[in-house]
Structure 1
Amino acid sequence: MCFLNQARQIAFESNIVIVNHSLLISDIVSGGTSIPEYDFLIIDEGQDIEKISTKHFGFEISQSNLFDVFIRISEYSEILKTFDFKAKFDSSDISEVNSFSENLKTTSLNVVTSLKELFKEIEVFFTQETEGFNKKESARITGTVRSLPIWSEIEKFWEDFNNDGDSLLFNLSKLRQKFDLDKYSDDPKLITVISDISRYKKLVEDFKVQMNEFFPHPEKNGIYWISDSSRSNRNLVLNKAPFNVNEYLENNLFTQKKSVVITGATLSDGNGFDYIKEKLGFDNSSEMLLGSPFDYQKSVLVCVPEDIPNPKEYDFQLALEQSIYYSVLATSGRALVLFTSNASLNKTARALKKSLMPHGINVFAQGIDGNATQVVKKFLRSKNSVLFGTSSLWEGVDIQGDSLKLVIMTKLPFDVPTDPIISARSEVYDEPFTQYSIPEALIKFRQGFGRLIRKKDDRGVFIILDNRIINNHYGKLFFQSLPDVTLRKIKIGMLDNKINEWLSDSEAGGSK
């Protein structure tokens, strides 16, 4: 028995099953085929369910994957010719198999041709939408876009592809009908080919359904956009995400169970659960907001440099690098630096790797020195090191004790407003910044802060290098979302002294 089937068997025989968020939601999408039936559910880190659900309730179809599938299908015509069917079929059946097999090659190559024409037109549109003065990374397909002449041209090419796809599906279906898996159980090689044909048939059917939705028949609850997943060779991707996941979750999860308990340190925005309840779609619920077991006022010093430039100013990057440099020297590494963009992380890592190396401090940067898991392992193995991370390191990282004494947040974690999902979801609010952007940023802000104190005797410093938190009217909301901490507004040049003072005092058993 393979590992997967063995794991499933154990799960079906168990009273308690532990799964990750992704498997939980994918099980809902697949109709409950992955997890044993259950009536009671506990979801930890519940604030992440919307993000996971958004991914699973949508789709993405890459240009390269489409071409790869249809080219592979065309190759099965030649593969089938290598088998001797005389012992299995009479002459008329063999003739039909050969005919369908040859047609398989013709129709699949026709699909490849129509696909090339379709994506050639899509690329023209994508270039117009994303390049020039307002350069963007993606092109959202709104109702206005669908009324443009160029989109009408794209849909014509889609129709050609769709018709060729129908012909291909016809041949795949006919071929599959000719083969009985039980009849060929003595031929493992042929069994594999037959299974592959079935799999590709399902893939083509799924592609057609999703692309039919993407082009002529978008759903009312859908957000659609085109992106490019490659920085070198263009690989366009057709994307769909739901505007809201609350109805999906309410109808397919919450109302289907006897009890669902959702927990998480950042479910609340500091005032209650209204925002998360609206996002996830549960109304009839009992709520409990518990305090923390940690004495944050004695454990955490929060510092905000008063003289750091606004993130939009040209001299911000230099001030950012200087602030990180002096702070990290004060803690001899043992620091996590959280970034809101890969570009900022890469630029800062290039500058500080060189300047910190002479001091025996290593910088491990996510995306440069490995993925999130890899750089965390490197950080933990190195005594004096700094960990640079983006989105995935803002949460779920549990580094306790002396390994982590300093967390630096380079910017307040506002979402990029031009992101298609963010842009679309913002449109439903009268005041999108206040009603959507700030609540989302508050959740992530608290997640980032939560990386510092992981057990009762932990003690450290949390630095915010974004002066908007003290200069803009909404900054107080971020401070209010934190527990009762010790706060200091100081100059950049005083960061190292204040850090040393705080950490030295902790070793002496006092507090400041």
Structure 2
Amino acid sequence: MEYIALDLETTGLDNKKDKIIEIALVLFDSQTYAIKESFTSFVNPLLLIPELNENITGITNDDVKDAPVFSELREKIESFIGERPIVGHNVFFDINFLKENNISLKNNRVIDTFFLSNILLFTENSLNLESLCSYFGVPFEGSHRALNDTIASITLFQKLIQLFHSLDEEKKEMLYFIFSQSFDSHILHIRDFLFGGEKKAKEREFFIKNILDNLDKKIKPQEKEIKLSSLESQKYSDIIEKIPTLSFRENQQKLMEIIFENMEKSKKTVIEAPTGSGKTISYLFPAIFHSLKSGEKVFISTKTKALQDQIFYKDIQEIEKYFSYNFSYVKIKGKKNYFSVYSFLNFFFDGLMEYEKVSFSSKIVLWLYQTEYGELDELNFYGDEFGFVKNVNADYIRVLSEENPYKKYEFYYKIKENLKEANIVILNHSLLFSDIVIDGELSKTMENLIIDEAHSIEDVATETLKKRFSLQGFLSVSHFVYTQHIKNNLNAEAFTKQVEILERDFSLFQDVCISFIAKKYNIRGDYIYFLLQDPYFFQEDFLGIVSGIIKKIENLILLLKEKKELDIASEIGYLEDIKQVFLVCFSPDSKKEFIPTMSYNEKYGVSVEYTYLNIGEFLQNRIWERTKNVFLLSATLKIGENFDYIISSLYLHNGFDFYSFKSDFDYQKQATLLIPDDLGSIKNNFSQISDFLMTLIEKLSGNMLILFTSLSAIKNFYFKANLPLKTKGIHLLAQSIFGSKYKILNLFQKKSDTSVIVGTDSFWEGVDLPGDDLQYLVIHKFPFLVPSDPIFEARSRLYRDSFSEYSLPKAIIKLKQGFGRLIRTKTDTGVIILLDDRIFSTKWGKEFFKSFPTDINVKQLKTKEILEFFEK
């Protein structure tokens, strides 16, 4: 059978206003994949191609100025396609553009290679055409050119069909069942193509039984001997001597001794241990030993998923091999992170099986054969799937209730059961703080706590403890509650009436706020974010609106609490949260304890939120004073030679011991710091700096990370540099343009020799690229917080000298984190280039200079000399 492969290049993503600038059509045999005929042409869009699209596609205004307009190609395109099925990557994007340009495609069936990839490659970080071709080893001439992309999509299609046929029969039957629930003609065409025609689907019972049989094998119960009295008289050295295969570095040995001793004596401890010091192993041994000896749990909290997974899947399992005593450990995340079979089956059999629901359900089912712990963040989601995730997670009371017939199969239930017996509990900072603020289940047994990546405590707690109201959030929750009424055959009239009244009040609230914002900031459309402190928001008339909203929220909560049949505890909790938002944010006294803020943009309207003003005070009251053993560890806690900043910001004044360790790295041999002295002021010389960076990148080709401090700087540099560098085979992987952090890192590691990451905030930490992948680190500016940021503005008032006591220390810690991306092991080498002239031109610049290792090679050079340095 003949199929058509299709790809377009366009001036943008909106088929209503953007235009086609290139089209490629390829006729091929769907059995042999042999190409029979092709057609390609530039298209004159009769408007200028935006700079961003020139950068992405490489198609310039000169390329299209003499090309035919689309109407001149319409007859040829319709004749070439005919009624043949269409294949392409994200092909509905192209089809919608063709339809908008009056190409009739009513009877054409469609197979999207993205749809198939999303099902079959469910854990891949990136599903763009280039990444998938790389995955399968498919030659790829260059992305975002129509003919190249079209030919690549045909070969990708072939590889995906082969991958499907490699699945075992049970998985195929499960997919056939899912596809057969749909009435979508494209889905049924894909099903018949994959399976060679229509056949009888298995019964519903087969589908459910296979899922349950699969889940029954996951997460076996753990047993724990509550207390090992034989360890009462033993010391840590007795344990270590029994593990001769593990060798400990000098720093690691000292670190371990401190943690062992302080844990035995119940001392609260802060430790700065640099990268490469082996701190994870150093605290795991004492933690396990203490738990076995005392019968108490030890909680270990990390900021990043990467470190949490490293501890759980690697470090603790390595120790387990050699440890002569049995111990148990569990990794736990918030319940929203876990798949629930109860939620999934309700979602699956409820409502129509639409296109996106088919791909989502299919990849979930295939993933269940692979996953061990049911953590939904193992999967990548796209488009409507983000909305589906809420419907399949464990964030429902009935998941753990006796009303759930599948309770014993639930991942979250099994983890909670193992948690009861665990010696070591591995969690993340977000769960730690969200549990502590409600005096949750975890905090009740939290006598021993180790906080790794402790430099991030203030920022993570600030985000985790936020409560927020937005009209979109309220409407989303209201819609969900309404659907629950309908599913349970309950009368929703009273609920709907109260929601409509609240909506009117919220709309009035928004209008009044927008009126203020327009006058105060003389701005419409742009994002604005500010402290709620203007007297306008505390006038009697305005507070009357707020008071009415609070009363109506209370009434709605009372109504929903009467609906015992509905599993809506989370939704009621959300309503209680937004009630609290209005109470806190519009109370004149709230700023003594909280930071109330308002934000506005044209798309989402007005949002109101608050967080804690003094995170240190919160930590002192909720953790430091309630916990017997606390250890805070990070590679970046000190400023200069002291812990003053971290002591002040986290309230570590009473009862804490402080230790710091020198790095095991030989920076004199491993790293060089280059500082150009002829680029002028960092504040107003972006053009010259960009020119230097382009020249530098051309010389080095790749293996580079450039850290900026704003997305606007990234975009300005990208638009200037991407096309010239692209013609030289160098890939600029820019944050906010190329996708998520993980997608960018994945692409970089595949082609690090010819790739440069251009990132901001999230790339300053949590990037681990040891070896040759990362050899060059460029820091554009010192990473100061934006002075107009309302959280920064509010917290600055807590200090007598906010710059030297708050702003400068936070920037130094972030700079140390950024520098830490370069040298990850004793064999790594690299060069850091710092472009901020303020290191020498300001009094405080020396504080940044002192944050670099004392034995690093430092060269202050002209830009020409820096380029010559790399030639040598």
Q: Same fold (TM over 0.5)?
A: yes
Note closer, same or farther for the CA distance 1:151–1:320 as it changes in structure 2 (3 Å cut).
farther
Note closer, same or farther for the CA distance 1:481–1:121 as it changes in structure 2 (3 Å cut).
same
Q: What displacement does 1:78 show?
A: 5.8
3-state SS of paired residue (2:657):
coil
CA–CA distance in structure 2, aligned partners of residues 115 and 203 of structure 1: 16
Note closer, same or farther for the CA distance 1:149–1:420 as it changes in structure 2 (3 Å cut).
closer
Note closer, same or farther for the CA distance 1:166–1:19 as it changes in structure 2 (3 Å cut).
closer
Q: What displacement does 1:395 show?
A: 0.7
Q: Deviations over 1:411-462 (max 9, x none)?
A: 1111100000111111232322222211111111111111111111211111
Q: Does 1:225 align with 2:597?
A: yes
Contact 1:308 1:466 in 2 (8 A): no
Contact 1:126 1:226 in 2 (8 A): no
Q: What is the match of residue 400 of structure 2?
A: none
Contact 1:11 1:35 in 2 (8 A): no
CA–CA distance in structure 2, aligned partners of residues 367 and 322 of structure 1: 22
Matching residue's letter, 1:493: K
Q: Deviations over 1:239-272 (max 9, x none)?
A: 2122211111112112222211111111111211
CA–CA distance in structure 2, aligned partners of residues 55 and 379 of structure 1: 29
Q: Deviations over 1:101-142 (max 9, x none)?
A: 432222221111111111111111223333359x98312112
CA–CA distance in structure 2, aligned partners of residues 497 and 166 of structure 1: 70
Among 850, 858, 862, the alignment partner of 1:491 is 862
CA–CA distance in structure 2, aligned partners of residues 401 and 336 of structure 1: 14
Aligned residues: 459
Q: What is the match of residue 294 of structure 1?
A: 665
Contact 2:527 2:599 in 1 (8 A): no
Q: TM-score, normalised by structure 1?
A: 0.84
Q: Does 1:273 align with 2:664?
A: no
Q: How does 1:392-431 map to 2 (within 5 A)?
A: 392-431=762-801
Contact 1:303 1:488 in 2 (8 A): yes
Q: What is the match of residue 166 of structure 1?
A: 554
Q: What is the match of residue 211 of structure 1?
A: 582
Contact 2:674 2:861 in 1 (8 A): yes
CA–CA distance in structure 2, aligned partners of residues 317 and 372 of structure 1: 25
Note closer, same or farther for the CA distance 1:202–1:396 as it changes in structure 2 (3 Å cut).
closer
Among 305, 314, 317, the alignment partner of 2:686 is 317
Q: What is the match of residue 445 of structure 1?
A: 815
CA–CA distance in structure 2, aligned partners of residues 37 and 321 of structure 1: 54
Q: What is the match of residue 252 of structure 1?
A: 622
Q: What displacement does 1:306 show?
A: 0.7
Note closer, same or farther for the CA distance 1:449–1:334 as it changes in structure 2 (3 Å cut).
same
Contact 2:581 2:608 in 1 (8 A): no
Q: Deviations over 1:337-389 (max 9, x none)?
A: 00100110111122222121222211111111111111111111113210111
CA–CA distance in structure 2, aligned partners of residues 490 and 448 of structure 1: 22
3-state SS of paired residue (1:33):
coil
Among 531, 536, 541, the alignment partner of 1:140 is 531
Q: What displacement does 1:330 show?
A: 3.2
Contact 2:472 2:604 in 1 (8 A): no
Q: What is the match of residue 103 of structure 1?
A: 494
Note closer, same or farther for the CA distance 1:77–1:451 as it changes in structure 2 (3 Å cut).
closer
Among 720, 737, 751, the alignment partner of 1:351 is 720
Q: Does 1:121 align with 2:512?
A: yes
Contact 2:703 2:773 in 1 (8 A): yes
Matching residue's letter, 1:375: I
Q: What is the match of residue 705 of structure 2?
A: 336
Q: What displacement does 1:217 show?
A: 5.8
Q: How does 1:457-496 map to 2 (within 5 A)?
A: 457-484=827-854, 485-496=856-867
Contact 1:11 1:36 in 2 (8 A): no
CA–CA distance in structure 1, aligned partners of residues 825 and 595 of structure 2: 41
CA–CA distance in structure 1, aligned partners of residues 635 and 557 of structure 2: 49
Note closer, same or farther for the CA distance 1:6–1:317 as it changes in structure 2 (3 Å cut).
same
Q: What is the match of residue 422 of structure 2?
A: 14
Contact 1:341 1:390 in 2 (8 A): yes
3-state SS of paired residue (1:203):
helix
CA–CA distance in structure 1, aligned partners of residues 825 and 484 of structure 2: 58
CA–CA distance in structure 2, aligned partners of residues 276 and 372 of structure 1: 28
Q: How does 1:179-198 map to 2 (within 5 A)?
A: 179=564, 191=565, 194-196=566-568, 198=569
Among 733, 736, 758, the alignment partner of 1:364 is 733
Q: What displacement does 1:41 show?
A: 1.6
CA–CA distance in structure 1, aligned partners of residues 497 and 527 of structure 2: 39
Matching residue's letter, 1:153: D
Contact 1:366 1:375 in 2 (8 A): yes
Structure 1: where are the runs of 5+ without partners?
Answer: 84-97, 180-190, 502-512
CA–CA distance in structure 2, aligned partners of residues 367 and 11 of structure 1: 38
Q: Deviations over 1:155-174 (max 9, x none)?
A: 2211222232233233323x
Q: What is the match of residue 275 of structure 2?
A: none
CA–CA distance in structure 1, aligned partners of residues 814 and 688 of structure 2: 24
**Stretch deviating more after TM superposition (28-37 or 45-54):** 28-37
**Stretch deviating more after TM superposition (124-133 or 260-269):** 124-133
Contact 1:249 1:281 in 2 (8 A): yes
CA–CA distance in structure 2, aligned partners of residues 373 and 109 of structure 1: 41
Contact 2:735 2:758 in 1 (8 A): yes
Q: Deviations over 1:439-492 (max 9, x none)?
A: 111111111111111111211111111111121111111111111211111112
Q: What is the match of residue 746 of structure 2?
A: 377
CA–CA distance in structure 2, aligned partners of residues 324 and 160 of structure 1: 57
Q: Deviations over 1:396-415 (max 9, x none)?
A: 11111111110000111111
Contact 1:107 1:164 in 2 (8 A): yes
Q: Does 1:52 align with 2:480?
A: no
Contact 1:70 1:109 in 2 (8 A): no
Contact 2:532 2:597 in 1 (8 A): yes
Note closer, same or farther for the CA distance 1:77–1:42 as it changes in structure 2 (3 Å cut).
closer
CA–CA distance in structure 2, aligned partners of residues 201 and 298 of structure 1: 59
Indicate the structure whose relative CO is greater, using CA pairs within 8 Å and at least 6 residues apart. Answer: 1
Contact 2:595 2:612 in 1 (8 A): yes
Q: What is the match of residue 183 of structure 1?
A: none
Q: What displacement does 1:298 show?
A: 1.8
CA–CA distance in structure 1, aligned partners of residues 427 and 660 of structure 2: 25
Q: Does 1:2 align with 2:410?
A: yes
CA–CA distance in structure 2, aligned partners of residues 8 and 324 of structure 1: 52
**Stretch deviating more after TM superposition (199-208 or 241-250):** 199-208
CA–CA distance in structure 2, aligned partners of residues 49 and 412 of structure 1: 21
CA–CA distance in structure 1, aligned partners of residues 593 and 833 of structure 2: 40
Contact 1:46 1:262 in 2 (8 A): yes
Note closer, same or farther for the CA distance 1:481–1:199 as it changes in structure 2 (3 Å cut).
closer
Q: What displacement does 1:311 show?
A: 2.6
CA–CA distance in structure 1, aligned partners of residues 819 and 537 of structure 2: 49
Instruction: Give % identity.
Output: 29
Contact 1:58 1:239 in 2 (8 A): yes
CA–CA distance in structure 2, aligned partners of residues 106 and 74 of structure 1: 11
Matching residue's letter, 1:380: Q
CA–CA distance in structure 2, aligned partners of residues 23 and 170 of structure 1: 28
3-state SS of paired residue (2:502):
helix
